[in-house]
């Protein structure tokens, strides 16, 4: 018993001292001005020490991908920190492979700028911009999914590939005193570069989705950053299978509109999984592409239709329906958008039927 009490006291003292160190660092640490050397002297930034590398770069208009807004939970913000990054933190390890760790890859949101740094930034990231935009239209697609159209103000147009995503920044609202950024796939056609559309599903207690669903109004001004991501259609002759439910429809809609504009004649099937009729949206719109495209089929499948739904369509899980549509698995490419669990399960179903693993592309959220 005595040992247990001594142990608890020791743990308590350690926790207290750690807390004091964090507070002291927040209050008193002064790292002064630090230099960030990018790509062997290609750019040199002078920044005030103390912030994360991710936000220090963003303040200098260099935007690194981030889906979690710097909370250390998405693993998107990887950068090579050649020198000055300090020791690897436990929060970074789950997102880095042994090869990346050996190669000095770090999560830029977890690296604090405390001294001069030497880093490497891929050239394509310098093209990412921050846009000022006006909310042009908000549509209720379902009870928990909204479609938002933004008019880009400054810069007033964007160049992106269908399938890429943007980061939307919130403003202070209600009890939320800090701006956060979250990633959302673009649902509009790249051939309309002046307006940008996003599809956003409400996440219970989600800071950004609560703001979008309960506070954001038409004509409000917002900040968007991007485009990011390498989820886009590969230029081959393979058949295409799209699989995405909920707000995962956003990048697929953009891809289909863009493929239509390009006169694509590839065979395409879009499996859209939902629970019940109340979760379906843009159904007629996507069905209309069956007449426009040479070989396109839109296949909504409900897992739990409700009694009053009078649903005459397909039911159950998505995978048992694959065989009817995927006739040449080895010559098929799949584009999946959804949760990691859905992507793992569907990828396995596709590879089991013969779709090559390296022809399965996904956007996981
Ligand atoms: S921004 Fe998400 S882990 Fe760094």
Ligand 1: residue whose CA is nearest its atom 3: 72
Which tens digit of pLDDT belongs to each residue from 284-304? 999 999 999 999 999 999 999
Prediction ipTM score: 0.99
Residue 195: name the closest of 148, 162, 260 by CA: 148
Q: Are 180 and 251 found together in one domain? A: no
Q: Are 189 and 243 found together in one domain? A: no
CA of 2 to the centre of ligand 1 (A): 43
3-state DSSP assignment of residue 218? coil
Q: Which pLDDT does position 6 carry in this prediction?
A: 63
Q: Name the domain boundary from 173, 206, 228.
A: 228
Whether the per-residue pLDDT at 181 is higher than 60: the answer is yes
3-state DSSP assignment of residue 300? strand
Residue 301: name the closest of 351, 255, 244, 349 by CA: 244
Q: Are 113 and 172 found together in one domain? A: no
Q: Are 117 and 168 found together in one domain? A: no
Percent of the chain with pLDDT over 90: 78
Q: Which ligand 1 atom sits closest to the C-alpha of 73?
A: 3
Q: Are 244 and 336 found together in one domain? A: yes
Q: 304 to each of 115, 272, 279, 308, 310, how far by Cα in Å? A: 56, 14, 11, 12, 12
Segment 245-273 shows an average pLDDT of 95
- φ, ψ of residue 58 to 5 degrees: the values are -60, -35
- Ligand 1 pocket residues where CB is under 6 Å: 54, 66-68, 70, 72-77, 107, 109
Q: 308 to each of 192, 277, 289, 304, how far by Cα in Å? A: 39, 9, 28, 12
Residue 151: name the closest of 185, 194, 108 by CA: 194
Instruction: Choose which residue among 56, 58, 75 to substitute to test ligand 1 binding: the one with the highest number of ligand atoms within 8 A of its C-beta.
Output: 75
CA of 68 to the centre of ligand 1 (A): 5
Q: Are 253 and 150 found together in one domain? A: no
Q: Is residue 20 a part of any domain in this protein?
A: no
Segment 4-28 shows an average pLDDT of 52
Q: Name the domain boundary from 79, 105, 125.
A: 125
Segment 64-88 shows an average pLDDT of 89
Q: Are 140 and 120 found together in one domain? A: no
Segment 41-49 shows an average pLDDT of 93
CA of 95 to the centre of ligand 1 (A): 10
Segment 51-65 shows an average pLDDT of 92
Q: Is residue 81 a part of any domain in this protein?
A: yes
CA of 339 to the centre of ligand 1 (A): 17
Q: Is residue 162 a part of any domain in this protein?
A: yes
Q: Name the domain boundary from 96, 125, 154.
A: 125
Query: How crowded is residue 62: how many other Cβ atoms within 10 Å of its Cβ?
Result: 19
Q: Is residue 1 a part of any domain in this protein?
A: no
Q: Which pLDDT does position 114 carry in this prediction?
A: 94
Q: Are 278 and 300 found together in one domain? A: yes
- Give the pLDDT band of residue 60 (cuts 50, 70, 90): very high
Q: Is residue 355 a part of any domain in this protein?
A: yes
The whole domain housing 64 covers 32-125
**Into how many domains does the chain fold?**
3
Rounded CA separation 115/180 (Å): 26
Q: Are 98 and 180 found together in one domain? A: no
Residue 181: name the closest of 54, 356, 341 by CA: 54
Taking CA 184 as the corner, what is the angle to CA 180 and CA 185, rounded to the nearest 5 degrees? 160
Are residues 231 and 363 in contact, defined by beta-carbon separation less than 8 angstroms?
Answer: yes
Average pLDDT, the chain: 90
Q: Are 278 and 344 found together in one domain? A: yes
Contacts of 140 (CB under 8 A, 6+ apart): 146
DSSP letter for 214, please.
Answer: I
Domain CATH number, residue 116: 3.10.20.30
CA of 78 to the centre of ligand 1 (A): 8
Q: Are 207 and 254 found together in one domain? A: no
3-state DSSP assignment of residue 20? helix
Are residues 240 and 268 in contact, defined by beta-carbon separation less than 8 angstroms?
Answer: yes
Domain CATH number, residue 332: 3.40.50.80
Q: Is residue 94 a part of any domain in this protein?
A: yes
Q: Are 103 and 117 found together in one domain? A: yes
Q: Is residue 15 a part of any domain in this protein?
A: no
- Give the pLDDT band of residue 362 (cuts 50, 70, 90): very high
Q: Is residue 70 a part of any domain in this protein?
A: yes
Whether the per-residue pLDDT at 3 is higher than 80: the answer is no
Percent of the chain with pLDDT over 70: 92
Q: Which pLDDT does position 71 carry in this prediction?
A: 85
Q: Which pLDDT does position 11 carry in this prediction?
A: 47
3-state DSSP assignment of residue 128? coil
């Amino acid at each position: 018993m005595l040992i247990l009490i001594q142990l608890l006291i020791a743990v308590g003292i350690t926790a207290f001292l750690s807390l004091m160190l964090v507070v002291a660092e927040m209050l008193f640490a002064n790292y002064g001005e630090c230099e960030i050397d990018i790509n062997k002297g290609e750019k040199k930034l002078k920044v005030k020490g103390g912030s994360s590398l991710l936000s220090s770069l963003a303040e200098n208009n260099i935007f690194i991908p981030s889906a979690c807004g710097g909370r250390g939970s998405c693993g998107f913000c990887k950068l090579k920190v050649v020198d000055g990054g300090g020791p690897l933190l436990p929060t970074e390890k789950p997102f880095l492979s042994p090869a990346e760790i050996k190669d000095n890859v770090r999560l830029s949101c977890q690296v604090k700028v405390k001294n001069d740094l030497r880093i490497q930034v891929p050239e394509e990231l310098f093209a990412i911009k921050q846009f000022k935009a006006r909310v042009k239209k908000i549509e209720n697609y379902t009870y928990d999914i909204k479609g938002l159209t933004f008019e880009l103000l400054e810069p007033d147009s964007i160049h992106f590939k269908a399938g890429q995503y943007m980061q939307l920044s919130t403003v202070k609202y209600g009890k939320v005193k800090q701006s956060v950024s979250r990633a959302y796939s673009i649902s509009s056609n790249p051939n309309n570069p002046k307006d940008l559309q996003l599809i956003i599903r409400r996440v219970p207690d989600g800071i950004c989705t609560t703001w979008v669903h309960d506070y954001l109004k038409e004509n409000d001004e917002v900040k968007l950053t991007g485009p990011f991501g390498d989820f886009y259609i590969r230029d081959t002759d393979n058949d295409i299978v799209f699989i995405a439910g909920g707000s995962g429809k956003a990048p697929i809609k953009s891809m289909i509109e863009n493929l239509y504009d390009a006169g694509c004649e590839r065979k395409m099937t879009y499996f859209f999984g939902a629970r019940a009729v109340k979760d379906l949206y843009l159904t007629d719109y996507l069905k209309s592409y069956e007449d426009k495209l040479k070989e396109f089929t839109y296949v909504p499948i409900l897992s739990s239709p409700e009694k009053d739904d009078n649903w005459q369509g397909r039911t159950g899980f998505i995978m048992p329906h694959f065989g009817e549509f995927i006739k040449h698995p080895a010559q098929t490419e799949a584009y999946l958008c959804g949760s990691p669990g859905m992507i793992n399960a569907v990828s396995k179903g596709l590879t089991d039927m013969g779709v090559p693993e390296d022809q399965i592309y996904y956007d996981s959220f």
